[in-house]
Structure 1
């Protein structure tokens, strides 16, 4: 029986569970945006912010994910589509990025809202993907979105080098066949490059993809509102 989930890591409540820590992370994001806007390299900017606020590794990971220059934010916002823009369109979905984020959201892990309005988690695929308790529900949520958006076709893109990518691809295709959805699933050796260069709408919270793609849709943001998901959301962006 599968008892795995993508919930919090040991120590995450200490790193992210108090106003003191959230305040520190907000200041770090402000500093990083200031530096990135002035064309500091991301590595240098994150090292400066991390050292200044004495951030732990997972805190720094969250800050990096939430940060972007003002030019990056403006560029991403200019390409963001709304649900009403998707009717009869084809959409390419960054498979592991989306599935793992939804699994994390559903299992109570901390989720971070960035300056670009995207939502990110702290989970990573280190060469191998394993199903968790929330995987089926994650696919169900994508299915609900697919039906409500009236998309023509949804194409899942998975990383071929990742172990078990073939299994999750088959899971998605079996689900599509069962429900008669117009879905496809592909394995790509370099999915980031593939998605960034695609002329189709993409779904991803990967910063590099968002910077280079033609158009994108904020699926996690949509699902949180539309499905009234209970999410352990941390906003480390100053309003």
Structure 2
């Protein structure tokens, strides 16, 4: 029996209480306040602490509002650089591998996802130096590949964080899926893929806010996939 069949990126056991009902209303208010502070130049860490303390949020809720909020200037700049899938034909893509795959794994497994102010979909998972492949991993990669194949990019180059344990195994799985389907894919391990993504002229596929602020063009692929394939996903609207 494949051990991955019993390993999933499921919701946290406390999430039903943390992200529904009155808790959700508090989070939406907290995101509004956090964006207000960001608009006025407050530092990220101190702003999240101020709002989190005011609303008595636990660590996981503070993580959520921090990922969902951004200043108006950041939101507008990111959206101005976002390209449509119809525009990627013949274009080279550079994929933030862990960022995209983990979000799709979470969607398939029914974990909490966040609709954020900049229209990105973000998860609440954290790698913490080690990545564990789950039962949804190959399904997520295949779905990404089939979707991209419809829009015919010139090439697809996946980047993975070399310091993260098991990143090599994931890169190998991406290569195997690509070869199996005759997709023009590369998968590479880098010590700092974020830097490579930010510096590249290729269209970046990511929802990492720091990368979005640095790149010239990016593709909001996770949002497209959620809209088309996961209408019943646990999507918390913090936009």
TM range (shorter): over 0.9
> Does 1:204 pair with 2:206?
yes
For structure 2, which runs of at least 5 residues remain unmatched after alignment? none
Question: CA offset at residue 130 of structure 1?
Answer: 1.0
TM-score when normalising by structure 1? 0.96
Q: How many residues are aligned here?
A: 236
CA distance in 1, matches of 2:184, 2:171: 14
CA distance in 2, matches of 1:124, 1:27: 24
Instruction: Show the counterpart of 2:16.
Output: 13
CA distance in 1, matches of 2:171, 2:134: 15
State which of 45, 48, 61 in structure 1 corresponds to 2:47: 45
CA distance in 2, matches of 1:78, 1:217: 11
**Contact 1:223/1:229 (<8 A) preserved:** no
Deviation string, structure 1 residues 164-222 (Cα, Å, up to 9, x no partner): 11111111111111111100011110111111111100011111001111100111111
**Contact 2:67/2:116 (<8 A) preserved:** yes
For structure 1, which runs of at least 5 residues remain unmatched after alignment? none
Instruction: Show the counterpart of 2:173.
Output: 171
State which of 22, 30, 33 in structure 1 corresponds to 2:32: 30
Runs of 4 or more consecutive aligned structure 1 residues displaced over 6 Å after TM superposition: none
SS of match in other structure, 2:187: strand
**Contact 1:93/1:202 (<8 A) preserved:** yes
CA distance in 1, matches of 2:42, 2:151: 39
TM-score when normalising by structure 2? 0.96
CA distance in 1, matches of 2:120, 2:134: 23
Question: CA offset at residue 228 of structure 1?
Answer: 4.7
SS of match in other structure, 2:188: strand
Question: CA offset at residue 236 of structure 1?
Answer: 1.9
CA distance in 2, matches of 1:160, 1:221: 26
